[in-house]
Amino acid sequence: ARINFSSLQHEGPTDVITFDYCEQGDAPKPGPILGDLFICPTVAEEFAGEFGTTWPEEVARYLIHGVLHLRGYDDRDAATRKAMKREENRLMEEAKNCFPLSQLAKRLITGVG
């Protein structure tokens, strides 16, 4: 909540905050990424229950969302939000096909896997 307020002047916690240290353009950009992502695991846990997903899936979604911001995607208006969400969903599906996200929490807790 502190980072959310000091950076964006928004009250309360948020899921992910991204700080892009590269020049921001008007469209998604290729090349290296330079920035910071802050993900709130408490919010991820709350939303996982609300959306019927797992905590690791929510964290993965926030990571993808933040990286998309660093790549130049924006979600400030309906049109750009829709394009960003479409790419976020596509990348989430790819991640689910490559990594057993729903099993990650069990491995973190038990150390098995």
**Reported confidence tier of residue 5, pLDDT bands at 50, 70, 90:** low
Which run of H or E residues covers position 16? strand 16-20
- Give the number of other CB atoms < 10 A from CB of residue 65: 22
User: What burial class does residue 32 get, using C-beta atoms within 10 Å of its C-beta: 0-12 exposed, 13-18 middle, 19+ buried?
Assistant: exposed
> Which CATH class for the 2-110 domain?
alpha beta
Domain segments of the chain as ranges: 2-110
Nearest-angstrom CA–CA distance, 93 and 95: 5
Per-residue pLDDT of 79-99, as tens digits, reads 999 999 999 999 998 988 887
Instruction: Examine the pLDDT at 18 and tell me if it is beyond 60.
Output: yes
